[in-house]
Chain A
Amino acid sequence: MKMFEEKWTAWLDDELTGDELVEFEASLPDKAAAEAEKRDAHKLGAFLKEQLQGRAMGNEEFFHHQLREKIERDARAGVAGGKADSPRAWWPIGRLVWVGATSLAIFCICTFFVMREKGPTDQSQYLSQILNARVDPVVSPNATISMFESKKDRVTVLWVDGLQSLPSEYATK
């Protein structure tokens, strides 16, 4: 659906035809005034063409010479001359998409392994339970418990010596 401005312009330039032309002319409230404005617009066009066309460029040879110099300078710099800027110098979109997808996949895989290697850093449930436990001096009078921890290797060893019995609730689950 053309707007009024578009229809008016097309009408002025005699580009409106068929039903569109009939409809548009019928919609004009004052056709005589519109025709007068059309003639006015044509006068403006002819006037602009007459006054603005044919602006001569002075010193055309120098223009060519200067342009050639710029092209040669660019070519010497290795950045110009059509070839340097040709599509071959640029990565096509398809290749860019593939490279992007591959990079993303590699990133995801690396992230997965790095995250997995870090692993859980919390203390284990068993360690907490044992540390909170008391050694019963009646049942195990000579029992000693030693703890060896290596944070670097994320390993904790509990060395229990002299324990004669283990309460049932601490049995291995």
Chain B
Amino acid sequence: MHTEATPAQPDVSELDLVKQCQAGDSEAFDQLVGRYRTRVFGMIYNMVHNEQDAWDLAQDSFLKAWKSIARFRGQSSFYTWMYRIVTNVTIDWLRKKQVKGSGAEFDDAIQLTDIDPASRTVPKADPLPHQRMERAEIRVRIDEAIKQLSPEHRAVILMKETEEMQYHEIAESLGCSIGTVMSRLFYARKKLQNSLRDLYENV
């Protein structure tokens, strides 16, 4: 995890915010949303590969969190609890949509976000246009590889590799055992190694 405290020692101010939310303070909830929206959005986006869908699912997730925040007991960190909602909402959506690995799903938003059409000069820190193009191509390859995974495998590999969550946090978020998490990681890694080896060996 990046910023969250361990479940044993939850962040106090975060808990305060949660308590205020439980008392019906929507401003406090707004602050929690501000803290986690980017990570929630990023996680969902990496699972669904579409900006608009990720936006809608992030909205649904936060709305569900607000509705059920009275039931949050503080036994885990707020983020782990939030992640459980996020993964449930996203996996449900993916199952309903029945995303198949073969389905072409190109997202224009990738390029829109990466390249600012209004910029006339290229800032020094930014990659050059051909680098941007290359990055977009890599991103498409990664998205295609992730699409080959089941929703549960996607969630596990993303939580582990990009969110750096511990096994027990992932298990809590997905509502499964640590053994299941490790087993899913094993297969997800194998599949991604097979699909992306040429990329990460050369990039």
Considering the complex, which residues of chain B in the window 62-81 have a beta carbon less than 8 Å from any beta carbon of chain A? 62-63, 66-71
Q: Closest approach, in angstroms, between the C-beta of B68 and any C-beta of chain A?
A: 6
Residues from chain B with a CB closer than 8 A to the CB of A53 are 42, 162
Q: Tell me, yes or no, whether A81 is within 8 Å of chain B by CB.
A: yes
Residues from chain A with a CB closer than 8 A to the CB of B69 are 82
Interface size class of B (residues with CB under 8 A): 35 or more
Interface size class of A (residues with CB under 8 A): 35 or more
Q: Closest approach, in angstroms, between the C-beta of A34 and any C-beta of chain B?
A: 13
Residues from chain A with a CB closer than 8 A to the CB of B9 are none
Residues from chain B with a CB closer than 8 A to the CB of A84 are 67
Determine whether the beta carbon of B200 is less than 8 Å from that of A44. Answer: yes
- Which of B21-29, B84-92, B94-102, B119-127 lines the interface with chain A? B21-29
| Chain A positions 51 through 85: 1 when the CB is less than 8 Å from some CB of chain B, otherwise 0 | 11111111010011011101110100000111111
Q: Tell me, yes or no, whether A118 is within 8 Å of chain B by CB.
A: no
Determine whether the beta carbon of B185 is less than 8 Å from that of A82. Answer: no
Considering the complex, which residues of chain A in the window 77-97 have a beta carbon less than 8 Å from any beta carbon of chain B? 80-87
Determine whether the beta carbon of A57 is less than 8 Å from that of B37. Answer: yes
Q: Closest approach, in angstroms, between the C-beta of B167 and any C-beta of chain A?
A: 7
Q: Tell me, yes or no, whether B6 is within 8 Å of chain A by CB.
A: no
Determine whether the beta carbon of B187 is less than 8 Å from that of A5. Answer: yes
Determine whether the beta carbon of B157 is less than 8 Å from that of A48. Answer: yes
Q: How far is the CA of A67 from the CA of B64 in the complex (A)?
A: 11
Q: Tell me, yes or no, whether B183 is within 8 Å of chain A by CB.
A: yes
Please give the residue numbers on chain B whose beta carbons come within 8 Å of chain A beta carbons, in ascending order. Answer: 21-22, 24, 26, 29-30, 33-34, 37-38, 41-42, 45-46, 51, 55, 58-59, 62-63, 66-71, 113, 135, 138-139, 142, 157-158, 160-162, 164, 167, 179, 182-183, 185-187, 189, 192-193, 196-197, 199-201, 203
Give 22 CB contacts A-B under 8 Å: A3-B179, A6-B182, A9-B183, A13-B160, A44-B189, A44-B196, A45-B161, A48-B161, A48-B192, A49-B161, A52-B42, A52-B161, A52-B162, A55-B46, A57-B42, A58-B113, A67-B63, A82-B67, A83-B70, A85-B67, A85-B70, A87-B71
